[in-house]
Each structure stands twice: as C-alpha cells, then as structure tokens.
Amino acid sequence: MITEFSQGSTILVDKPFKWTSFDAVNKLRWHLRKRIGVKKLKVGHAGTLDPLATGLLVICIGKHTKLIEGLTSDAKTYTGTFLLGKTTPSYDLETAYNSENPTDSISPEQLEEMRLSFLGVQQQVPPLFSAKQIDGKRAYDYARAGIEKELKSNTVEITGFKIDASRFPEIDFEISCSKGTYIRSIAHDFGQKLGCGATLIALRRTKSGAYDVKDSKTVDEWIAFIEEQPL
C-alpha cells in the first residue's frame, strides 16, 4: 500500500543526465505527497550526484531518512571516461575547454604506473566547482562568480581503479572509493601527473554500499509505481 512509503522506505533511483539529486528527490516527494494525501513528507538522498552524472541515487522516505547519514558513509563505485589532453575549469563538461595539450608521447606503461599511483589512502583537493562549503557558501557559487578560493584537502581512499585505453586519448574507467571522493579531481590529477591535463567527460555511479544500480528504477518508473499503489 502507498502508506508504507511514508512509514519508511528506501528506494533506488537511476538519476537522469542533467538532473540534480534534489530534482529527483523533489519530483518523487511531490508525487508521494499527492498520492498519500499529506502536506509534509520527509524525503532525502544518501549521497549527491553531479548534474552531469547518471546512476544510482539512494533515496530514503519517512522514517528511513534517519538512515541517510550511515548510508552516505558507504563506499561507492563509478564508471566513466576521462579525456586526456584537454582541461576545463570545472574538471568536467560543465565549463568549456580552456587548454589543449599533445598526448602522443604517453605510453601504456605510463598509464599503468599512473593507475597504480592512485590506489590507497591519499589527500584529495575537491574541485572549486563543487558543493563544498566555504564561509557558508557553496564553492561553485564562488567559482561561477570568478572568485578564487582555496579548498582544504580531504582524506579519501581508492580501493579499486581499472582503466581501458583502447579508445585513447579517452580512458574508460571503473573506480571504487570511500565517501567524499571526487572523480572529477581524480581525472584532473591523473592528467596533471601525465603532463597533458584531463577532463571527466562521462560519469555513472553503479554501486553505493550494498546497493547496485541494476536494481534501480528510473524516476518515471517510480512515479508509475507510486500511482499504481492502492491507498
């Protein structure tokens, strides 16, 4: 029954491209409130996905919102693509390319050495185009206003990093990492260390803790499911 959602539910959503995580939460909350017939309903997500990323968004409803903090701490797995030889200020395609460098001299051995160098516990500086708080404002607010701010590094752990260079200079990857890891920063740092720069051009979250995107539904599929539930 539909009332079971408000009593406490955790659902898996495949977030669409160019939607914010809050877009998905707000859309589902609106339909749930309408179907249940309540004015207020707690709905939240366990780990933000950038608008240009797709994939697994764990959404908690009702009493299950108390689980969000613990679920956010879960390890994550991502797949996607780096483009070597080009950079952007945001480290992804939110902003236009601002530099281009040759990649002809990069060998498979260098790529493997670089991959191995990212495994383990390390310090990572978040992108300025991120939701990190600086003096009470989001970092991306400063970035979009052209104001330079220094971000503190965070301790993260990369537990798995696979790469496929068969489409070089595009590098397809799968990364398993701790919470708070920015894949855009890995792309940026990967390119910096190679001396050619890099941009994250595709990103998809496939796992969060015990949850897998294979078990998720799209937003539209969840809305249809909600509308089908008996009152």
**Residues marked as catalytic:** 50
Q: What angle do CA 66, 67, 68 make, to 5 degrees?
A: 95
Distance CA 207, CA 202 (A): 16
Distance CA 9, CA 5 (A): 5
Give the position of tokens 């890891």: 181
Give me 122's structure tokens. Answer: 């390390």
Q: Are 61 and 43 in contact (CB under 8 A)?
A: yes
Q: Are 190 and 118 in contact (CB under 8 A)?
A: yes
Phi-psi group of 71: left, alpha or beta (phi > 0 → left; psi -120 to 50 → alpha; rest → beta): alpha
**What are the phi and psi torsion angles at 49 (to 5°)?**
-115, 135
